[in-house]
Amino acid sequence: MDLLEKPSVRISVRNLVEFIMRSGNIDNRHKSPGDQSMLEGSRIHRMIQRRMGSDYHAEYFMRFTQDMDDFEIVIEGRADGVITDGDQVTIDEIKSVYQDLEYIGKPAEVHLAQAKCYAYFYTEQNSLSDIRVRMTYCNIETEEIKYFHEAYTYIEIRNWFMNLMEEYAKWARFEFEWKKIRKHSIKELEFPFPYRDGQKELVSQVYRTIYHEKKIFIEAPTGVGKTVSTVFPAVKAVGEDRGDKIFYLTAKTITRTVASECFDILRNGGLRYKTVILTAKEKVCPCEEPDCNPDACPRANGHYDRINDAIYDLLTKEDSFTREIIEEYAEKHMVCPFELCLDMSLFSDAVICDYNYVFDPNVYLRRFFAEGMDGDYLFLIDEAHNLVDRAMDMYSAILYKEDFMELRRHIKPYSRKLEKTLESANKYMLALKRECESMKVLDVYGTGEGESLSPLLVILTRLMAQMEKFMEDEERSDIRKPVFELYLQVRHFINMYENINSDYKNYVAYSEHTEDPVEHTNRFMVKLLCVNPSYNITQCLDKGRSAAFFSATLLPIDYYRNLLSGNDEDYAVYAKSVFDERKRGLFICNDVTSKYSRRSDMEYYNIAKYIQLITAEKKGNYFIFFPSHAFLNQVLHAYEEYFQDESVECIVQKTGMREEEREEFLNRFEGNEDCDLEQLIQMEIEYEEEKTLLGFCVMGGIFSEGIDLKNDRLIGTIIVGTGLPMVCNERELLKDSYDDEGLQGFDYAYRYPGMNKVLQAAGRVIRTAEDIGIVALLDDRFLMTSYQKMFPREWKNHRVCNLETIADEVADFWDMQNLEIETSAATETD
């Protein structure tokens, strides 16, 4: 920053208006009708803008600086249009809606306020004496347009805007003063631990990526310290003005906790940094069921009258906005904890949250990532191997014919018009059903190959309009609820259809006969399947400055780079493992497999025998992972019948386990229920498990990743099979799609996702540098070159075994470990 340049506080027009809206200066009594459909809105914007003449300047960027003596407030955004007709200038604000324009009697104040901000900027920067504002509402279904016109003198629009600035000044000054404190603390901040081998290089690589505004993919084996190795350089970059806000994105609650604790460690070292953990509404809502209605929730009644006081109180007294802190202040000020949590993200230096808040098209944080908005954001994406499946799911959409038929029956007594539109949708789905024997690929790219989805989209767009109108008129919640549920599904389907990109070939559409897993009834579906989410993800990340994807299992990196970024120029790093490979025994068993063609009672017996032979060599806790619950049950039956004795206890992962059942399952691995391990350690009493505990689990399930059982809590993992997803129509479509794009279809659809499950399951054993344990891979396919090329570097030393040799091989490993321990103890004594 130039020494003569004043420090500044940045805010977008949208966020400024929405923030002041809460204080009552802008009417917030009715919901904005234009916030429903971002993708359709983009299409409508482009359509209207293209129709305008040469005097219409679309997506007109404006930046306005308000001087505050010792700092500046920089407000920026894009006006939908600026119309210059001679000496007369008009600011155009476009809003696309589904509702009938007849029901819009005047523009929403929040929409008008955005336009008025741009109007003031333009008059000030161009020395105008007056200006006009045009609010353009367009119905998405009919493309009918309704205009509202306003005219302001320079004095009127200036006085209005100065009132906004007066309201916002307190907040801007706090942010300005805080950033000075933050920057000074970052300058003095040092790495909180002695650098492990290779860790300093990893920290430097992340900083270099941010410096060059690039993306990086990091394979970071467990123990590298990937959280602090990414957070620390990102914080340092913020201190050097190479970023302003960090988004730490995760797939699991436990990882968010680890990230928060990492910032706590840095704060203990002198860092001043405000962080917030975003928690789902269902988890923090004090009501039995979330219902943001003043009649149902006392906190919703008057929420906007109290929220700014709550924010300021929390902001000036705390730096770490955890779930517990948010709930405490929300109760103190009688406001919604979820909304308070979201509001605190505006004032936080780091936002720790689920992937959804950045990538999901339905719930992303519009205050940061709405169309036309960007910022100096740094994205740290933890456990990035999860993002492929999560993103494919986010950007896919499904419609079931039976849902239209069911809602039609429900709604018939209340709305004949809506009932008829639902019937149209049902009839079209019925026609598709009759042409589909089992599964049929549909045309989404206009190639003429297969049935086109365009007629269905016309019907769905008309249905959206009817459902919105019905929900506006109908107040009874029991009637509105089923309409709203289908409305969300239809809206998402339309949005994803608008997201199809022929250059990326990111979608496949198909129809299929399926079975309801609960009711066991036949259903017919149409699905938009996202096969490559890189285009969608890149659009999100391009709103920031830099991104780091990291995981302990990000192999092969090219697979993740192709599906998460699509840019071959992104950096890739393989962090060095800090673990002693000799403390991990890796065994590949060459005479069993999970192949369907080999499944038999004898194969289940042999796998059960392997479990007995491996676990008999040392008492302790073991996980055994299987490709499915059905396979698990077959092997468990064989084990219990032929091999289990009183010294072994088996516990089994069940389908649909509740949270308390999961905790109970894991607590068994903390030691005997009547034995305090920590107390025994403090008393220097040697403790030996009296029983062997075997946890029978499913690969890719709740216990195969994110579980941190250190030291003797887990001494071995047995993995049965290569984790390949089940062959099905959808997987075959994925394979064919990747083949068409010149990628390895089978690898991308089956082998790579399967191997990731294997690597995650194997990673449960060695969690610290002191851990000792074994990993046994029970499938002869692991000896194939196609699998071994996906092995991590630290797996280069493995032993090939069979039923005749496995016991001796495992015994040799444990004998070697005992010898190492004895030698180490003797050395320390000397």
Helix (H) or strand (E) holding 403: helix 401-411
Concatenating the DSSP letter of every residue in 197-260 gives TTHHHHHHHHHHHHHTT-EEEEE--TTS-HHHHHHHHHHHHHHTTS-SEEEEEESSHHHHHHHH
Taking 60 as the threshold, does the pLDDT of residue 681 lie above it? no
Taking 60 as the threshold, does the pLDDT of residue 35 lie above it? no
| Helix 226-239 with 154-188: angle, nearest 10 deg | 130
C-alpha–C-alpha distance, residues 548 and 575, integer Å: 13
Q: Contact at 8 Å (CB) between 121 and 77?
A: no
Distances from the Cα of 229 to the Cα of 378, 578, 707, 756, angstroms: 14, 14, 21, 23
Give burial (CB, 10 Å; 0-12/13-18/19+) of 434.
Answer: exposed
| Section 287-311 average pLDDT | 83
Tokens of 306: 């109290």
Taking 70 as the threshold, does the pLDDT of residue 45 lie above it? no
Least confident window among 50-64, 464-478, 657-671? 464-478
Percentage of the chain beyond pLDDT 90 is: 67
Distances from the Cα of 228 to the Cα of 277, 317, 736, angstroms: 17, 25, 40
Return left, alpha or beta for 70; rule: phi > 0 is left, psi -120 to 50 is alpha, else beta: alpha
Q: Contact at 8 Å (CB) between 520 and 730?
A: no
739-787 pLDDT per residue, tens: 999 999 999 999 999 999 999 999 999 888 888 999 999 999 999 999 9
Helix (H) or strand (E) holding 149: strand 145-153
Tokens of 788: 């071994």
Amino acid at 673: E
Amino acid at 110: V
Return left, alpha or beta for 674; rule: phi > 0 is left, psi -120 to 50 is alpha, else beta: alpha
Select the more confidently predicted residue: 33 or 528: 528
Closest CA to 311 of 283, 276, 261: 276
C-alpha–C-alpha distance, residues 694 and 705, integer Å: 17
C-alpha–C-alpha distance, residues 138 and 260, integer Å: 44
Tokens of 753: 């996702």
Give the other-Cβ count within 10 Å of 642's Cβ. 11
Question: To the nearest 10°, the Cα dihedral for 474, 480, 486, 488?
Answer: 80
C-alpha–C-alpha distance, residues 489 and 483, integer Å: 10
- Bridge-based pairing state of the strands 397-400 and 522-530: antiparallel
Q: In the chain, how long is the greatest CA-to-CA distance? A: 95
Concatenating the DSSP letter of every residue in 753-813 gives HHHHHHHHHHTTS--STT--EEEEEE-GGGGSHHHHTTS-GGGSS-EEE-TTTHHHHHHHH
Select the more confidently predicted residue: 30 or 187: 187
Tokens of 297: 């929730």
Tokens of 14: 């949208």
C-alpha–C-alpha distance, residues 39 and 357, integer Å: 17
Taken in order 660, 661, 664, 665, the sign of the CA dihedral is negative
Tokens of 335: 């406001």
Closest CA to 40 of 143, 113, 135, 148: 143
Q: Contact at 8 Å (CB) between 372 and 498?
A: no
Tokens of 819: 């010898």
Closest CA to 811 of 582, 617, 583, 619: 617
Residue 148: beta bridge partners?
A: 135
Contacts of 599 (CB under 8 A, 6+ apart): 631, 634
C-alpha–C-alpha distance, residues 562 and 316, integer Å: 44
The size of the chain, in residues, is 830
pLDDT band at 690 (very low <50, low <70, confident <90, very high): low
197-243 pLDDT per residue, tens: 889 999 999 999 999 999 999 999 888 899 999 999 999 999 999 99
Tokens of 504: 């990326």
Distances from the Cα of 273 to the Cα of 248, 299, 669, angstroms: 14, 29, 36
Residue 76: beta bridge partners?
A: 12, 63
Contacts of 664 (CB under 8 A, 6+ apart): none
Taking 50 as the threshold, does the pLDDT of residue 795 lie above it? yes
pLDDT computed for residue 54 by the predictor: 82
Taken in order 154, 158, 159, 160, the sign of the CA dihedral is positive
Closest CA to 760 of 583, 587, 625, 579: 625
- Bridge-based pairing state of the strands 245-250 and 377-381: parallel
Closest CA to 366 of 342, 383, 389: 342
| Section 447-463 average pLDDT | 88
Tokens of 646: 């009183």
Q: Contact at 8 Å (CB) between 56 and 81?
A: yes
Distances from the Cα of 417 to the Cα of 406, 408, 462, angstroms: 16, 11, 11
Closest CA to 6 of 68, 76, 63, 64: 68
Cis previous bond, 455, omega within 30: no
3-state secondary structure of 691: coil
Taking 50 as the threshold, does the pLDDT of residue 476 lie above it? yes
Give burial (CB, 10 Å; 0-12/13-18/19+) of 736.
Answer: middle
519-540 pLDDT per residue, tens: 778 999 999 999 999 999 999 9
C-alpha–C-alpha distance, residues 61 and 43, integer Å: 19
Give the other-Cβ count within 10 Å of 82's Cβ. 20
Tokens of 536: 């969608």
Q: Which of 136-150, 353-367, 503-517, 697-711 reaches the highest mean pLDDT?
A: 353-367
Taking 60 as the threshold, does the pLDDT of residue 39 lie above it? no
317-342 pLDDT per residue, tens: 999 999 999 999 999 999 999 999 99
Question: Which residue is listed with tokens 């849902």?
Answer: 403
| Helix 601-615 with 629-642: angle, nearest 10 deg | 70
705-737 pLDDT per residue, tens: 878 888 889 999 999 999 999 999 999 999 999
The 10 Å CB-count burial string (b at 16+, else e) for 585-610 is bbbbbbebbbeeeeeeeebbbbbbbb
pLDDT computed for residue 162 by the predictor: 95
What are the CB-based long-range contacts (under 8 Å, 24+) for 479-482?
479/410, 479/411, 479/414, 482/406, 482/407, 482/410, 482/411
